[in-house]
Structure 1
């Protein structure tokens, strides 16, 4: 006999796998038991959350988050990162292996990271391991310890603890990952075109955004994508290209997928919202790598999303203390490259999607269902369906508001979105049926650690 219902969520606009319609979501023990008609009287006295005419969405899954703990909690930390996630409708994050000390390149380092996260997280949290020179023997133990996959850089990462890899390192790691069935997430820029551009850029004004843009040419991305596709073809390793910022690599990716290679790709809200023509000189809050390119590239990325040539959208939330952004000096070459945006991805994406006539069901696919598949979490996350966790977001799609950086929940009030007017506001977030966010409230941390094979 089934246990009694613990909760009922209902709304007139529920984003389900088969479309948007009125529905009631019946929840037992934090898991969706069934999806019924809106009018169904199945509560049996269980508490009811009625979203009314607001959208009721599956919680977002953000597979590209730098929480920077342990070791660099002055940059962010699990408490502030997951508070921001919940406020942005993100109910699951998968945290990146770099910027913490130690970097997550061994099973012991993963255990230290788990210890740092326990009791501090407001959303469910998993972890990527890292591929660095010489750690091929650590990959299997990391996988067995619960990592969901592995991340590598093909250029310097910006921190000494996480070195970039070359083709020889990938040739040592990729057969291991192929045997495990683990995905390899790749920061797809190679040094050659960047090093060649450095000589040309040495005499340029470091405050000019055009100088920074010139220093990281699209060829760095396309050559990296070409290399990882070639190695994917040789070893059969699942490859995921993170934060694609150029349309020039899309044809390579299309051909690889047409060939049947296991290659996926993401882009980020900042590449889909901003464009180089609108970034002022000295505005280092906009610095990231790869860089935000021109308006034509932005529109090309949107076309690729609409055509399903890009699989998903993730934040690449990579904050730092204000002094590291160097906004007073405005030197793009010295400033830390990272965008703080974890709380803002959903309204930013909805603003841009609605402007282009794209419905919320596509946004949910890009930011919830597809990331859950990437991370191996689709059996529990990414959709409002029986058997999935009751990770739900009440979202007002018509609310217009201006971003106040000081009101955001990540640790430092630094973001290029400050002052931007966006559409859509999170009214409440629930993780496994428990409220993780509501304006003016501060629920206790209740997120779960997600370990592969133990979730």
Structure 2
């Protein structure tokens, strides 16, 4: 009988208190020792010489589209892609499956599919749409992470945007249920008016699309949602915030004591409107990529601690939905779930940020916000042995041969990161190794039912300095 199933030696362990020269002892899927020298017998030794060990990333915003649209991306290919990028837990959004996850029955169907296919652990969002207020209690009891709603058209007929009446009533009920509402915040009146104006002028290129979804549309929706939160007491999580101006409004609300977090995405931090103009619809998303000076302001907000977490918003589709010049009709979503951890490490290296902040954005803050911090999110004795081993002196260029998503086209293709994911462990079992690819294709991911959402720590992430 061994004391440990696995001991990882010679690595630099990224803890909340900084990088430590620790060894990690793993037993029964958990971290059972974390110290300068782990003593005792072990079945296996992994040499992480010269490499950094991060907690497995928790991506709270992906679209895997099952049931009904597995041809876009399903749980098998999607979870494999995330694992190759150092992600060991994900939350799937409710809108692109058929049916959308707006009833208990749809939730149970999706949970069964994901449980039979996912390589890593997962949670599932439920949806708030017009007419499903009576479904919220059953969805909550079933174990949704929280609820997702659109303040602007979703682009999916099966998942309508929530009008103000739906939002107010839904937020009141979600608050009673102790859940959180994730919001796509863009103003419908603004984006619809501006799009109609551009289309009436015969304009549908990158400039027309971007100008139809200005920062003002994001800010107005954020402000309105915050007003509703004051009235209802509903916890909010703003998804894919694209502008520093919106982040500032959310910070003001936090300072009032409101229960709110926000995420941004790597594509808003690494790419700009120029990429949309040059690369076409492959770089289309909503909100759109911003111009360079706005991107720099968003990065500054991240550096200053005004953004809680970073998620991919991996939103894939079949190539034909992107293969068009009309930016209003092309599918709006970035294919990039494999590159979140690498992107954030790149930014940390550029801006000389400590790696424990990367771990916070990608793992510990999501775990705290969504009730998983008792089992995940940090490298700590007693927590799940979800690990991403990263080599910071071994560059990685994204090409089709090393992309694991179903349709290998992405705005990230051709980008060279100054680091690479060397290996990934989920509950102590290796699922990916750079030189070998996926080690395991056996679905071993577990469904996670988060405990009561408690933002007492996550809402008050301190600013740098």
> Do both proteins adopt the same fold according to a TM-score greater than 0.5, normalized to the shorter chain?
yes
Query: Equivalents in 2 of 1:386, 1:132: separation in Å?
Result: 41
Q: Is the 8 A contact 2:207 2:277 kept in 1?
A: no
1:293 pairs with 2:290: yes
1:342 maps to what in 2?
337
Give the superposition deviation at 1:406. 4.5
Change (3 A) 1:313 1:453: closer
2:412 maps to what in 1?
417
Q: Give the number of equivalent residue pairs.
A: 449
Give the superposition deviation at 1:372. 1.4
1:66 maps to what in 2?
63
- 95-104 or 436-445: which moved more? 436-445
Q: How does 1:130-209 map to 2 (within 5 A)?
A: 130-203=127-200, 206=203, 208-209=205-206
Deviation sequence 1:346-397 (CA, Å, 0-9, x none) = 2122222211222322111101111112221111111001221000111101
RMSD: 1.8
Q: How does 1:71-150 map to 2 (within 5 A)?
A: 71-150=68-147
Deviation sequence 1:254-278 (CA, Å, 0-9, x none) = 2111111111111000000001134
Q: Is the 8 A contact 1:6 1:27 kept in 2?
A: yes
Query: Equivalents in 1 of 2:40, 2:110: separation in Å?
Result: 40
Query: Equivalents in 2 of 1:407, 1:52: separation in Å?
Result: 23
Query: Equivalents in 2 of 1:380, 1:206: separation in Å?
Result: 51
2:304 maps to what in 1?
307
Partner SS state of residue 419, structure 1: coil
Give the alignment partner of residue 270 of structure 1, picking from 263, 267, 275. Answer: 267
2:381 maps to what in 1?
386
Q: Which runs of 4+ in 1 moved over 4 A?
A: 203-207
Change (3 A) 1:255 1:453: closer
- 78-87 or 142-151: which moved more? 142-151
Query: Equivalents in 2 of 1:185, 1:152: separation in Å?
Result: 6
- 362-371 or 315-324: which moved more? 362-371
1:362 maps to what in 2?
357
Query: Equivalents in 2 of 1:234, 1:155: separation in Å?
Result: 21
Query: Equivalents in 1 of 2:48, 2:402: separation in Å?
Result: 24
1:446 maps to what in 2?
444
1:24 maps to what in 2?
23
Q: Is the 8 A contact 1:287 1:338 kept in 2?
A: yes
Give the superposition deviation at 1:248. 2.1
1:434 pairs with 2:433: no
Query: Equivalents in 1 of 2:203, 2:46: separation in Å?
Result: 53
Give the alignment partner of residue 317 of structure 1, picking from 314, 317, 338. Answer: 314
Q: Is the 8 A contact 2:253 2:260 kept in 1?
A: yes
Partner SS state of residue 242, structure 2: coil
Query: Equivalents in 2 of 1:204, 1:268: separation in Å?
Result: 32
Structure 2 gap ranges (5+): 453-465
Query: Equivalents in 2 of 1:361, 1:400: separation in Å?
Result: 21
Instruction: Give the TM-score taking structure 2 as reference length.
Output: 0.93
Give the superposition deviation at 1:341. 0.5
- 122-131 or 402-411: which moved more? 402-411
Partner SS state of residue 109, structure 1: helix
Structure 1 gap ranges (5+): none
Query: Equivalents in 2 of 1:11, 1:375: separation in Å?
Result: 32
Q: Is the 8 A contact 1:11 1:55 kept in 2?
A: no
